[in-house]
Amino acid sequence: MATSSSTTAGSATRARSTRSCSTWIVRGRGVPAGVRVKTPVSLVDVAPTLIAAVGGAPPPGVDGLDLAPLWRSTPGVGDERYARRMLFAEASHNIVVADQVRAVRRGRYKLVYDPITDEVQLFDLETDPRELHDVSDRHPEVVAQLLEALHAKIGATRTGPHVELDAEETERLRALGYL
């Protein structure tokens, strides 16, 4: 596992590619106007939230949580199960090289792992929300915990089989706009 205390342009790009800055606007019966939830959430929360909104229960084994309790509580105060859970992400940059970058976030920390280079970066999102400064050397215990969770969740080596493309196949993909 390689770590670095400075962020290079390539690794900064990889870290940003796993950054999620989504805004959800929810309106409806039981949803108070003007509430802003600061607790990190994920797209996996959409289905459980919508299912609960129509009175159902998510099927067993579905990732994600119903977010309604967050907007019903005091702003800025989140249930501990939301605040302490781990959120996972992956990003693939192209189809020629298997370069799927993976990330896990828990609380204030986000770990970004590149399985090709074995590079690990840790960001403190409270002090560095733009993910510019790797703090992995200052928090090795956090790195170990998040990396273990990441490997357990999505696997350290889960990539598709490597496929060599010949010149004709590469040109066909380029003509279709894939490369």
Looking only at the bridges linking them, the beta strands covering 86-91 and 101-106 are antiparallel
* 8 Å CB contact between 55 and 33: no
Instruction: Please write the tens of the pLDDT for every residue from 33-76.
Output: 887 777 888 888 989 988 988 899 888 888 888 888 888 876 55
Structural domain containing residue 126: 2-7+84-175
Task: Name the pLDDT band for 136 (thresholds 50, 70, 90).
Answer: very high
Total of domains in the chain: 1
Q: Whole-model pTM?
A: 0.67
Residue 40 lies in a domain: no
Residue 95 lies in a domain: yes
- Which SS3 state, helix, strand or coil, does residue 108 take? coil
Q: What is the mean pLDDT of the chain?
A: 79
Residue 66 lies in a domain: no
Instruction: Please write the tens of the pLDDT for every residue from 72-103.
Output: 876 555 567 787 888 888 877 665 555 678 89
* CATH number, domain with residue 168: 3.30.1120.10
Residue 139 lies in a domain: yes
Measured at the alpha carbon of residue 148, what is the angle toward residues 15 and 154, in degrees to the nearest 5?
70
Quick one: pLDDT at residue 157?
A: 45
Residue 133 lies in a domain: yes
- 6 pLDDT higher than 60: no
- Which SS3 state, helix, strand or coil, does residue 66 take? coil
Residue 47 lies in a domain: no
Quick one: pLDDT at residue 12?
A: 45
Q: What percentage of the chain has pLDDT greater than the value 90?
A: 27
Quick one: pLDDT at residue 140?
A: 97
- 4 pLDDT higher than 50: no
Q: Nearest CA to 64 among 81, 83, 43?
A: 43
